[in-house]
Amino acid sequence: MSRVASFPGAKPANSDSSRKSQMSDFQECEVQNRRDQVDNKQSPVNLAVNVGGIRMVNPVTTGSGTFGFGPEYAPYLDLRQLGAITVKGITLEPRLGNPVPRIVETPAGMLNAIGLQNPGVEAFIRDHLPYLREVGVPVIVNIAGNTVEDYAAVAERLDQAPGVAGLEVNISCPNVKKGGLQFGTDPVMAAEVIGAVRASTKLPVIAKLSPNVTNIVAMAESVAQAGANALSLINTLLGMAIDVQARRPVLANVVGGLSGPAIKPVAVRMVWQVAQAVDLPIIGMGGITTAEDALEFILAGATAVAVGTANFINPRATLEVVAGLAAYCEANGIKDINELVGWAWKMSC
């Protein structure tokens, strides 16, 4: 049985747009890119934000693992119009990732169990970072590891690499020295990772929080005390899908991370809670497909947002969010988007 994308912006595989040639798509995107540049120049709204020392011309970055290393999306949008580019997770050594199948669509989202497939930190610095430096927007590198020492080593190596603006620390990884328990589900272990990364780099450190916990505020407070400059939340929710015909799990890994619009209410709630408890800038993420979605996160307390799964069905989603934020601010007399950060709870106090 074939599957089609079921959340906003998806187009059936047999739609008119899917039958257009790649060159035609590219030409259309080039025209739209020029429009984006004109629109951005004309906007009277200040969209610039500062996320823990990372200065972004607008509050929109890409979700790690959904945007590759940047060039994959260059035919479809002007990367220079992004607030930042957050690349896929990087580890100390190369990883092949999990066996297939490792992606499955779900109602209003998708499950993935990619397993952090990546070329390793040395190959990233050699083969991908030079391109990103030429783009000219802040580059946030997501890092991961199996031990505290792994995280520290990757951070130290990237600290020496020109062109990296900050590190997003994926603490939703199993600690092989603690029986596979995720760093991100234990405040003490999470703090240990962030502390080790903080001691290994002068770059801004962003702790990416897992939603698979009973107390998200406790996790945020723990990594803040350990030296994080900013937070990003949420990572994916743990989920599973079963093939009823085969009567077994769809994913080879059995479980995977749920992302997409289905998790947005959970993500907004967690940003709301953390923003009122911890005095650190937040990059909000989880199911953002439109500017309205992004505004919910900002009003809940996020300084910036990351567009992730939406990139798979609409490669221009990030810039559409940027344009929509500017349009909303203009229509509502907001001259600086920072005025909206946390508005929903600050105005009710």
Residue pair 93/147 in contact (Cβ under 8 Å)? The answer is no
User: Other C-beta atoms within 10 Å of 3: how many?
Assistant: 10
Per the rule left: phi > 0, alpha: psi between -120 and 50, beta: everything else, 101 is beta
Active site residue 173: yes
**What is the 3-state secondary structure of the chain?**
CCCCCCCCCCCCCCCHHHHCCHHHHHHHHHHHHHHHHHHHHHCCCECCEEECCEEECCCEEECCCCCCCCHHHCCCCCHHHCCCEEEEEECCCCECCCCCCCEEEECCEEEECCCCCECCHHHHHHHHHHHHHHHCCCEEEEECCCCHHHHHHHHHHHHCCCCCCEEEEECCCECHHHCCCEHHHCHHHHHHHHHHHHHHCCCCEEEECCCCCCCHHHHHHHHHHCCCCEEEECCCEEEECEECCCCEECCCCCEEEEECHHHHHHHHHHHHHHHHHCCCCEEEECCCCCHHHHHHHHHHCCCEEEECCHHHHCCCHHHHHHHHHHHHHHHCCCCEHHHHCCHHHHCCC
What distances in angstroms separate CA 155 from CA 101, 138, 222, 259, one per listed residue? 31, 17, 20, 26
Catalytic residue among 29, 173, 329, 349: 173
Q: Annotated catalytic sites, by residue?
A: 173
